[in-house]
Chains A and B, each alone.
Chain A
Amino acid sequence: MGQEHSARGVVSGKLSLGKAIERLEEIVQSLEREEPELEEALRLFDEGMELIRAAERQISESEGRLKQVLVDRRGRQRHVDFEPPEQ
Chain B
Amino acid sequence: MRHDLFDQVANTRALAREQVPQVWSVSQVNALARELLEGAFPPLWVAGEVSGFKRYPSGHCYFTLKDGTGQLNCVMWREAARALPAEPPEGMAVHVFGYLTIYQRAGRFQLVARELMARGEGLWRIAFERARKKLEAEGLLDPERKRPLPAYPSCVGVATSVEGAAVRDIVSIIRRRAPWTHILIYPTRVQGEGAAESIVAALRQAGRAARADVLIVGRGGGSAEDLRAFNDEAVARAIARSPLPVISAVGHETDVTLADLVADCRAPTPSAAAEITVPDQERLRSELANAGERMATALLNGVTRGVQRVERLEQQLLKAMGDALQRHRLVIGGLRHRLQALGPMEVLRRGYALALDDRGRVLRGVADFTLRSRFVLRLRDGRVQARTESVSEEV
Contacts and interface: CB of A to CB of B under 8 A. Distances in A.
Given A38-B303, A84-B167, A87-B168, A64 B181 contact: yes
A42 B298 CA distance: 10
Contacts of A67: 182-185
B295 interface: yes
Interface in A6-64: 16-18, 21, 24-25, 27-28, 31-32, 35-36, 38, 41-42, 44-45, 48-49, 52, 55-56, 58-59, 62-64
A85 B180 contact: no
Contacts of B187: 68-70
A36 B305 CA distance: 11
Nearest to B289: A52
B152 A31 contact: no
B175, B182, B201, B281 interface centre (most CB from chain A within 10 Å): B182
Given A65-B182, A85-B163, A36 B302 contact: yes
Contact of B183 (A49, A65, A71): A65
Contacts of B155: 64
A18 B150 contact: yes
Contacts of A84: 167-168, 171-172
A69 B205 contact: yes
B162 A48 contact: no
B324 interface: no
B226 to A, nearest CB: 18
Contacts of A79: 184
Contacts of A71: 201, 205
Contacts of A41: 298-299, 302
Interface residues of B, number: 48
B305 to A, nearest CB: 7
A45 to B, nearest CB: 5
B89 interface: no
B183 A16 contact: no
Contact of B152 (A21, A28, A63, A64): A21
How many residues of A sit at the interface, in one of the four size bands?
35 or more
Contact of B291 (A16, A28, A35): A28
Contacts of A27: 295
A58 B175 CA distance: 14
Contacts of A31: 294-295, 298-299, 302
B180 A68 contact: no
Nearest to A87: B168
A66 B171 contact: yes
A82 B208 CA distance: 21
B83 interface: no
A18 B185 contact: no
B295 A49 contact: yes
A77 B209 contact: yes
A81 to B, nearest CB: 10
B284 interface: yes
Nearest to B170: A84
B391 interface: no
A17 B152 contact: yes
Contacts of B168: 84-85, 87
Q: 4 closest pairs, A vs B, by CB?
A: A18-B152, A31-B298, A64-B182, A62-B180
8 contacts: A18-B150, A18-B153, A31-B298, A56-B285, A59-B180, A66-B185, A69-B205, A69-B209
Given A59-B281, A69-B205, A85-B168, 6 more contacts: A28-B295, A31-B295, A31-B302, A32-B294, A52-B292, A79-B184
